[in-house]
């Protein structure tokens, strides 16, 4: 069947639905109408889209951790702790890596091993294995909205089960959960599988349940220039809206330069709203999420707190709707619940202190213009390649390197583009690959990198990129020699 950015036909959807639900025994428990009734029984305070829309209206910045362990009771305990002692406004259920690869058998082993060793042997919560009722007991145990966070190329069954389980928000997208999270899964198939997810979200929406969807903004989390992640976020928003999604949170991973980060969050919100409107989706509520630094972290906890705080500052000054919070254990491993709560409380302190201090200046405005122009170059080319169809265009864009995500593991990613920081620490493009920037923008990027190379008295090269990858972990922003 052809890939198109068109609402999936109901017959087609229902047919594949049967297959999806049969992928693992817990699928048989899913019943759409019963699930909608469960959602309707939830109090407002547990509904993600409500809390986000409200935060946007009152210019509040909410905080949310990542967290997930193998066993149900432990997972509930963990989330309760983060709610009560971490002051989390929103909660997650981070899914384990076997589930993300649809390896439910290995996830089952992981659960059994975890019981045997009385510690979590999985890096997340295997929601498919725990099933609909397992999920509902999580939702019921907590006071705040909960989201599924993962990195699953084919997430159809996971979506079915967690939506029926009462989750009110769902991360991911056909590009953002493929290119950074898979090695050899084709883009056509993930975009199609995520159209399924979005269509299911649309069905709930049509039945009165607005589930929030969040494209995964940071991608590889490693030196991704804002225009690239913006282009992906906007494409996934358009794809989602077409399937009937009406509440979208677009995301961005902090790059570390204040001006670029504030400009990025602001331009992301503006552009996403614009594009949705232009393409006829008028009634979508768009909110933003800033991810605290997603690349390599310093091992020292005190330094990690510094990185966490810097992300919090940026989120608050930019006015992001929510912040995804890192922990002082980031460089070491999945955090203990205490470490996770510490990251949250640190973040809460910073954003509360900055709540009334938005940053506006000419530098931010100028940087916003750059980001918008770059993003537009990429999106224009995508539409062109797709002859007006953005699903087709996205696939072609990756084939041709028009979209090229630095450090991505996928073999469907060109991997020709290289980013590096400029002399102020903003992320620019060192080797453009096939990125379709105007000559002016290419020259701008080149000049910025050249400025740094001069100040460091060395030629720009891959060594500069490597130095930048290590920099924050070593306590700097720019990887100077």
Residues annotated as catalytic (active site), given as ranges: 100, 171
**Pick from 331, 176, 187: nearest CA to 248:** 176
CB of 408 to ligand B12, least distance (A): 6
Residue matched to tokens 């972290």: 297
Q: Which does 294 bind (CB under 5 to 8 A by kind): another protein, ligand B12, a copy of itself, none?
A: ligand B12
Residues near a copy of itself (CB under 8 A): 256-259, 298, 300-303, 305-310, 312-313, 317, 341-350, 352-357, 359-363, 423-425, 472, 475-478
CB-based contact 371:267 (threshold 8 Å): yes
Q: Would you count residue 466 as binding another protein (CB under 8 A)?
A: yes
Helix axes 362-385, 439-455, angle to 10 degrees: 130
Residue 435 sits at φ, ψ, to 5 deg, of -65, 130
Nearer to a copy of itself, 237 or 347 (CB): 347
Q: How far is CA 214 from CA 42, 87, 201, 274, 332, in A?
A: 21, 22, 12, 17, 27
Under the criterion CB under 8 A, does residue 56 sit at the interface with another protein? no
Nearer to a copy of itself, 5 or 257 (CB): 257
Query: Would you count residue 328 as binding ligand B12 (CB under 6 A)?
Result: no
Partner in contact with 462, chosen from a copy of itself, ligand B12, another protein, none, beta carbon below 5 to 8 Å by kind: another protein
E strands of 223-324, at which residues? 247-253, 285-291, 322-324
Q: What are the tokens at 250?
A: 């677009």
Distances (CA, A) of 271 to 85, 227, 287: 36, 11, 12
Contact partner, 113, from ligand B12, another protein, a copy of itself, none, Cβ < 5-8 Å per class: another protein
How far is C-alpha 389 from the chain's CA centre?
23
Q: Which of 174, 221, 319, 425 binds ligand B12 (CB under 6 A)?
A: 221
Give the residue with the Cβ less far from ligand B12, 241 or 472.
472
- What values do phi and psi take at 62, rounded to 5? -95, 160
One character per residue 388-417, x = contact with another protein (rule: CB under 8 A): -------------------xxx--------
Task: Report the residue number, 35 or 346, with the smaller CB distance to a copy of itself.
Answer: 346
Nearest distance from residue 380's CB to ligand B12, in Å?
28
Q: Looking up tokens 């909410």, which residue turns up? A: 62
Q: Burial, 467: exposed, middle or buried (Cβ in 10 Å; 0-12, 13-18, 19+)? A: buried
If contact means CB under 5 to 8 A according to the sort of partner, which of ligand B12, another protein, a copy of itself, none does residue 307 touch? Answer: a copy of itself
Binding another protein by CB under 8 A: which of 3, 62, 95, 182? Answer: 182
Answer yes or no whether residue 97 interacts with ligand B12 by CB under 6 A.
yes
Tell me the residue number closest to ligand B12, measured at CB: 333
Residue 477 partner contact from ligand B12, another protein, a copy of itself, none using kind-dependent CB cut-offs of 5 to 8 Å: a copy of itself
Burial 199-223 (b: 16+ CB within 10 A, else e): bbbbbbbeeebbbbbbbbbbbbbbb
Six token digits for residue 466:
């490597």
Cβ atoms within 10 A of the Cβ of 41, count? 10
Q: Name which of 131, 121, 166, 134 is nearest 148 in CA terms.
A: 166
Please state, in angstroms and rounded to a whole number, the distance separating the CA atoms of residues 357 and 352.
10
Listed residue (224, 315, 239) closest to 275, CA to CA: 239
220 in contact with ligand B12 (CB under 6 A) = yes
Asked if 105 interacts with another protein (CB under 8 A), we say no
Q: How far apart are CA 239 and CA 237, in angstroms?
A: 5
Residue 107's SS3 state is: helix
Q: Helix or strand or coil: residue 147?
A: strand
Q: Does 339 bind another protein (CB under 8 A)?
A: yes
Question: Which one of 163-171, 217-225, 281-289, 339-347 is the stretch in contact with ligand B12 (CB under 6 A)?
Answer: 217-225
Pick from 51, 100, 156, 230: which binds ligand B12 (CB under 6 A)? 100
Does 409 engage in binding with ligand B12 (CB under 6 A)? yes
**Which residues make up the interface to another protein (CB under 8 A)?**
96-98, 100-101, 103, 106, 109-110, 113, 119-123, 151, 180-183, 220, 222, 295-296, 299, 329, 331-336, 339, 407-409, 462, 466, 469, 473
List contacts with ligand B12 (CB under 6 A).
66, 94, 97, 100, 123-124, 151, 180-181, 218, 220-222, 294-297, 329-331, 333-335, 407, 409, 469
């Amino acid at each position: 069947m052809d890939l198109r950015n068109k609402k999936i036909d109901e017959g087609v959807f229902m047919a594949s639905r049967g297959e999806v639900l049969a992928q693992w025994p817990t699928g048989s428990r899913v019943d759409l109408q019963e699930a909608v009734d469960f959602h309707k029984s939830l109090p407002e305070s547990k509904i993600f889209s409500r809390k986000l829309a409200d935060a946007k209206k009152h210019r509040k910045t909410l905080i949310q951790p990542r967290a997930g362990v193998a066993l149900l009771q432990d997972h509930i305990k963990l989330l309760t702790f983060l709610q009560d002692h971490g002051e989390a406004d929103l909660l997650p259920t981070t899914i384990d890596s076997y589930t993300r690869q649809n390896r439910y058998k290995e996830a089952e082993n992981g659960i059994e091993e975890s019981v045997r060793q009385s510690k979590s042997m999985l890096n997340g919560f295997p929601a498919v294995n725990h099933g609909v009722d397992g999920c509902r007991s999580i939702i019921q145990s907590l006071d705040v909205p909960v989201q599924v966070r993962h990195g699953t190329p084919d997430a159809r069954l996971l979506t079915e089960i967690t939506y029926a389980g009462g989750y009110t928000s769902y991360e991911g997208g056909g590009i953002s959960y493929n290119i950074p999270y898979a090695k050899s899964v084709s883009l056509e198939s993930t975009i199609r599988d995520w159209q399924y997810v979005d269509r299911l979200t649309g069905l709930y929406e049509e039945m009165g349940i607005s589930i929030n969807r969040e494209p995964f903004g940071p991608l590889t989390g490693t030196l991704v220039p804002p225009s690239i992640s913006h282009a992906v976020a906007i494409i996934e928003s358009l794809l989602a809206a077409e399937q009937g999604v009406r509440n979208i949170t677009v995301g961005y991973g902090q790059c570390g330069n204040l001006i670029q980060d504030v400009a990025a969050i602001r331009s992301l919100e503006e552009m996403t709203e614009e594009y949705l409107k232009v393409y006829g989706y008028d009634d979508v509520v768009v909110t933003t999420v800033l991810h605290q630094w997603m690349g390599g972290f310093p091992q020292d906890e005190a330094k990690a707190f510094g990185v966490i705080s810097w992300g919090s500052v940026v989120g608050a000054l930019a006015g992001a709707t929510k912040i995804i919070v890192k922990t002082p254990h980031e460089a070491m491993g999945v955090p203990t619940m205490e470490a996770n709560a510490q990251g949250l409380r640190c973040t809460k302190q910073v954003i509360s202190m900055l709540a009334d201090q938005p940053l506006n200046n000419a530098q931010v405005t100028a940087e916003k213009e750059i980001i918008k122009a770059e993003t537009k170059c990429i999106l224009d080319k995508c539409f062109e390649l797709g002859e007006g169809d953005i699903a087709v265009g996205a696939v072609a864009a990756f084939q041709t390197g028009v979209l090229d995500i630095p450090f991505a593991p996928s073999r469907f990613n060109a991997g020709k583009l290289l980013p590096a920081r400029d002399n102020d620490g903003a992320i620019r493009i060192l080797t453009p690959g096939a990125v379709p920037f105007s000559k002016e923008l290419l020259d701008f990027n080149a000049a910025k990198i050249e400025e740094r190379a001069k100040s460091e008295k060395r030629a720009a090269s891959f060594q500069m990129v490597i130095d930048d990858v290590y920099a924050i972990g070593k306590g700097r922003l720019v990887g100077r020699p």
